[in-house]
Structure 1
Amino acid sequence: MKRIATIVSMVIICGFMSTELNAQKVKSFSGLVTFSIKYEGDIDPMRLANAPKERIYTIAGNNTKYTVSGQGFVQHVVNIGDSSQNLMIIDHPMQKLVIKKDREDFEEDFEYVDIKVVPSDETKTICGYACKRYDIVVKDLEKESEIKVICYTTEEIGVDENINFETPGLKGYPLYQEQHIGEIKIITEAVKVKKKKIKPAEFLIPSGFEIISYDDYMEAVRASQNSGGGE
């Protein structure tokens, strides 16, 4: 009888612990984030006229997606955070193509760059979300060039650091980015955050698309450049 009472007590205690742990879990964000994009510096007027001024991200957990519309084609850029995977989905009348970049491809890229992420005590509120500043320097070890980025991120969007697998060490989802590329400055800032249920299918590869690896894609790019097609 004592043994039964002990087991019942353990079940009750475990039940309370489970309830408490579930209460502590942060519900992952699901919805749309609209960004404005501004440019400063010496930029060719034609390029500036064609540069995007707005971008809308679809976010669910650690997955993100945005769409770029070109002349006669649409390109979706999907990041699957938990598997460190990037999908470039190109929907063109002549070809439906997916360029798949896996974790191993990113790890190889990281061998040629030095990424430093420095947290700051500076904070600001963007679209009602408390954000913390990070200063990032990305050095290209081959070209000996660097890009400086100021980020303000919120930990209320995204489950964990996997949402930033392309920038190891960055915590929280960026609602503000200020990129310094030479004399040009690009400012991307969230202007609207809308919570919304997002279906998992948003981040899947559509049927009927040809899938190629990132290595095969880069090999085709190099071949095109060597033959003069990139000029």
Structure 2
Amino acid sequence: MKILTLLATLLFTASTIIAQDLAVTYEITMHSDDPEVQAQMGMMQGSTLKLKSKDQKSRTEMNMGGLITTTNIVDNEKGKGVLLMDGMLGKQAAKFDEEDKDEVDAEEADIEVELIDESKEILGYTCKKAIIYTEDDVELVYWYTKEIQLGNDALSKYMKKGLPGLALEFSVDEGNMNMTFTATELKTKVKETKDMFSLKIPEGYSEKTMEEISKMSGQ
């Protein structure tokens, strides 16, 4: 769960600063040499990560094979957001603001990024390789494209993360498990629908604090 949170957070950071409309869908594939772990992963086939960004608003949805869906919605202009989780523990929600985001940024301070002179094509975009090393000695391999234009201020903030472009593929090896997120669809126009970027907690969700959500997720 911690690795999933880190992956989503790194990508989510990108989604909140892109100075244009954007919608990306990632297919999540998982593999393990351990037969027991591989069998468990079979229950998460069809997992996806969807990212939408429009103006100063963003939304990310991670669906783990129908077992649990995690949604983050952020309004940068208001400096507020909401986290929605729908899964085996029921429907849980938590609101957060810039102070909570600052705590996440502080946790990411020790991330080290190495840019690699390798390239490949994803969805028609030329992507470069980067390796991100975390304080837990976990390596994340990213393939990013510089072809997605970022605003000047946004680019400056994004470069602090060390990744000078939008990631169209990223993967992590943790112990005997590998997870890869690969972009299967990318649109540069987003048609906003009702409640797409709403910060209101939907009916049927139990409101918690971010700390309570973290404890429930085992983080």
TM-score range, shorter chain: 0.5 to 0.7
Whole-Å separation in 1 of the counterparts to 2:156 and 2:51 = 16
Normalized per residue, the structure richer in helix is 1
- Of 81, 94, 97, the residue aligned with 2:92 is 97
Instruction: Indicate whether 1:30 and 2:59 are aligned.
Output: no
> Cα gap change, 1:95/1:50 in structure 2, threshold over 3 Å: closer, same or farther?
closer
Q: Which has the higher contact order (CA 8 A, sep 6+)?
A: 2
Q: Is the 8 A contact 1:161 1:169 kept in 2?
A: no
Q: Percent identity, please.
A: 19
Cα distance, 1:136 vs. partner?
0.3
Distance 1:119 1:191 in 2: 23
Question: 8 Å contact 1:77–1:89 — kept in the other structure?
Answer: yes
Matches within 5 A, 1:28-177: 28-31=20-23, 33-43=24-34, 44-61=37-54, 63-68=58-63, 70=66, 75-80=69-74, 82=76, 87-90=82-85, 96-109=91-104, 111=106, 114-140=110-136, 146-155=137-146, 156=148, 160=154, 168-177=161-170
* Per-residue deviation, 1:157: 6.5
Unmatched 5+ residue regions in structure 2?
A: 1-17
**1:104, distance to aligned residue in structure 2 (A):** 2.9
* Larger-gyration structure (1/2): 1
Supply the RMSD in Å over aligned alpha carbons.
3.8
Check the 8 A contact 2:59/2:196 in 1, yes or no. no
How many pairs are equivalent? Answer: 188
TM-score when normalising by structure 1: 0.62
Residue 79 of structure 1 deviates from its aligned partner by 4.8
Change (3 A) 1:45 1:125: closer
Report deviation, 1:196: 4.0
Instruction: State the partner residue of 2:14.
Output: none
Distance of 1:103 and 1:59 partners within structure 2: 20
* Consecutive unaligned residues in structure 1, runs of 5 or more: 1-25, 141-145, 226-231
CA distance in structure 1 between the aligned counterparts of 2:47 and 2:156, rounded to whole angstroms:
25
Instruction: List per-residue Cα deviations over 1:135-188 (Å, max 9, x = no partner).
Output: 101123xxxxx21111011241765359979x9333322111121112322121
